[in-house]
Structure 1
Amino acid sequence: MAHSALPTIDLAALTARSATRHQMLARLGQAARDVGFFYLVGHGLSAADQQETLALAARFFALPAQEKLAVQMVHSPHFRGYNRVGAELTRQRPDQREQFDIMNEAPALLAAQIRAPWQRLIGPNQWPTALPEMRSHLLAWQDRLSAITLTLLAAFAEVLAQPAGVFDESIRGAPYQHMKLIHYPGQEAGGSSQGVGAHKDPGYLTLVMQDGQAGLEVETANGWICAAPVPGALIVNIGELLELASNGYLKATLHRVVSPPSGVSRLSCAFFMAARLDATVPRLTLSPTLAAQAQGPESDPANPLFYQVGENVLKGRLRSHPDVAARHYGAPAAPHPLGQLGRSQRHATAKAERPSA
């Protein structure tokens, strides 16, 4: 397997008014088009800040089981909180990781205000009483990561030769935020090596911060490659919403995590940024040159893509968390869970909805 073959993008060079900026923009476009993954440096997050967040994750996962289960995700219709090893599914197989999920902190809507199932994603996070510092630290960290993704999103508007602010309407007020602290235990003898099964992310952009243990792998035209940790660098990948917006010019790429060997554990922090849940993905009009290279959103019958953002997010949540789906949404998750919940017909299952160019 190839090792650390991902390109590197310098965010500071993207935001500087210098002669190298256009070169970095071109490099960003190539990385997003050819691979869909890249290392990000120059992002302004110090090594000490990153280690502080990973150390907080380690303290949380070291808590007694009863403390973690008190904030178990199954208690939350908003898909927030703790999942034990094996609770989350990818392609109907359990992932060998435990994790703690937060999203935008907001009050839940009243029942009379809910017009669509995805509106139940809106709500408060759960917080462990044993770590009172966790709330302020993680919400502030989530906002810092969100600011990085917004800078990248503006750069992608340039890459796609779009007007400045072309994504603003879809993120006005606050983009959708979702962050996971993740612990991968070492493989058990004869056990599964699926830390996380192969999948794509549903939002605009994902940022991943890793400790020193490898495990993340990315599918490329030449097979799977290892996205090994690089000190100080974040890993960025393109989500399905950018693939939809660009009619497939930008690439959402399959990726997975292989469990570490026996006796070794791995920590990471993943942040997912999407448009507002009530927004619709903008379908961009590309120049003839770019449009000629756009292949349309990839069609996967097991993973239909929805232009309505809340539907796209809820689809993934229901499929990945059947216990939450059963308790709070009335039925176990199905391959097309929104089929039972009044899903919109505005979805991309092939190239039929290609934007004009």
Structure 2
Amino acid sequence: MTDRLPVLDLRDAAGTAERRAEFLDRLRRAIHEVGFFQLVGHGVEDAEDMLELARKFFNLPEPDRLALNILDSPLFRGYSELGREHTKGIPDQRQQLDIGPEQLEHTPVPGDPAYRCLIGPNKWPAAMPELRPAIESWINRLTGLSHQLLRLMLESLGAPAGFLDDVVDPDPQIHLKLLHYPGPVRTSEDTGTGQGTGLHNDLGLLTLLVQDDNGGLQVAVDENRFIDVPPIPGAFVVNLGELLEVATRGYVRATLHRVVRPAPGVNRYSIPFFFNPRLDATMQPLPSPYVEDADGVIDVADNPLFALYGDNVMKGIIRSFPDIVARHHPTLAATTGPSRS
């Protein structure tokens, strides 16, 4: 695995045949060798405006934020205080706002698979009415960009570009987070782990992230060696999720990554957008010469990979939000395996 994080320009994909071929080759090597790259030339120009909206949201008075308390949401949506979400059992030192697909509320029925509990509407801050239209516009544009990028990835692997269209159309299970990583103000607030977000893989297909200029995102290149992802103004950091690893039999890896908590007095903001299959979609191996020769998905004892996206995402949610599971879904507490319905 290389130490260098490639920077790809999406405009090259629409260039001459030679430029497009070079772009596809660099894209294939990036998703195989590193699992991370930075994307420029994508035409989404308002990342700084979105980061400023995130700053404004986290600067709202605490009662306005707690009106969206994720503890009150059986959908796992809303505002989280420091330490609410866990990675590998350790509280992450970040505040966040979780947004999913805007859907009608689902009334559970007997026999529903566990993942059906994720269907419903979002919570929006009454004190900041401009946030909803801005985020919904951002989600619409990033959904289109993600789908375009996914098709290019498949093309780079010699697979039909539209092979995964039916697992994301017409309603991909998108997920967006506004994130705030406050550095400890006092020594007593430092947990000693340095953990902003713990070491993890993403669960779906691909992630687009914008980050401010404070850095902190790190990618595992070896078992005990990490590299920093340098902030590039206007770039999306792109990484791959577990379901793409499943579909490519391990040729594409969902690379482990983490966020280091900022220094005292420093505030880091970022916005990840997760592009995922439909909850009820099952991944199939890509018809690709690279996939045919791949070694297969590596089984990790404490992190089974499920081809059905709903099962894979519930695995992560049950581990990440134990307080919400205990309050709203106590029967799920011991459920990390595939659905039986």
Normalising TM by the smaller chain, what interval? over 0.9
Partner secondary structure for residue 272 of structure 1 = strand
**Structure 2 counterpart of 1:250:** 252
Task: Please give the alpha-carbon distance, in whole angstroms, between the structure 2 residues aligned to 1:88 and 1:210.
Answer: 20
**Structure 2 counterpart of 1:303:** 303
Partner secondary structure for residue 112 of structure 1 = coil
Q: Does 1:197 align with 2:202?
A: no
Shift of 1:143: 1.3
Q: Does 1:343 align with 2:336?
A: no
List aligned pairs for 1:130-169, cutoff 5 A: 130-169=127-166
**More deviation in 98-107 or 297-306?**
297-306
Q: Is the Cα contact below 8 Å between 1:121 and 1:314 reproduced in 2?
A: no
**Structure 2 counterpart of 1:24:** 23
Task: Please give the alpha-carbon distance, in whole angstroms, between the structure 2 residues aligned to 1:154 and 1:208.
Answer: 19
Aligned residue pairs, count: 335
Shift of 1:164: 2.9
Question: Please, which of 218, 224, 227 is the counterpart of residue 226 of structure 2?
Answer: 224
**Structure 1 counterpart of 2:282:** 280
Task: Please give the alpha-carbon distance, in whole angstroms, between the structure 1 residues aligned to 2:131 and 2:125.
Answer: 8
Partner secondary structure for residue 267 of structure 1 = strand
Task: Please give the alpha-carbon distance, in whole angstroms, between the structure 1 residues aligned to 2:170 and 2:110.
Answer: 19
**TM-score (norm. length: structure 2):** 0.94
Deviations 1:294-327 (A, max 9, x none): 2211211111111111111111111101111111
Q: Is the Cα contact below 8 Å between 1:245 and 1:282 reproduced in 2?
A: yes
RMSD between superposed Cα atoms in Å: 1.9
**Structure 2 counterpart of 1:271:** 273
| Structure 2 residue identity aligned to 1:268 | S
**Structure 1 counterpart of 2:43:** 44
| Structure 2 residue identity aligned to 1:295 | D
Q: Is the Cα contact below 8 Å between 1:180 and 1:271 reproduced in 2?
A: yes
Task: Please give the alpha-carbon distance, in whole angstroms, between the structure 2 residues aligned to 1:71 and 1:60.
Answer: 12
Shift of 1:112: 3.0
Q: Does 1:176 align with 2:169?
A: no
**Structure 2 counterpart of 1:349:** none
Deviations 1:238-275 (A, max 9, x none): 10010000000111100000011001110000000111
The alpha-carbon distance between structure 1 residues 114 and 45, as it changes in their structure 2 partners (threshold 3 A), is farther
**Structure 2 counterpart of 1:127:** 124
The alpha-carbon distance between structure 1 residues 116 and 331, as it changes in their structure 2 partners (threshold 3 A), is closer
Shift of 1:331: 4.8
Deviations 1:11-59 (A, max 9, x none): 121233542100010000000000000010011111xx11111111111
Task: Please give the alpha-carbon distance, in whole angstroms, between the structure 2 residues aligned to 1:24 and 1:129.
Answer: 44
**Structure 1 counterpart of 2:319:** 319
Partner secondary structure for residue 215 of structure 2 = coil
Partner secondary structure for residue 258 of structure 2 = strand
Shift of 1:333: 4.1
Q: Which runs of 4+ in 1 moved over 6 A?
A: none
Percentage of matched positions with identical amino acids = 43
**More deviation in 243-252 or 6-15?**
6-15
Unpaired runs of 5+ in structure 1? 346-357
Q: Is the Cα contact below 8 Å between 2:51 and 2:269 reproduced in 1?
A: yes
Shift of 1:115: 1.8
Shift of 1:76: 1.3
| Structure 2 residue identity aligned to 1:319 | R
**Structure 2 counterpart of 1:85:** 82
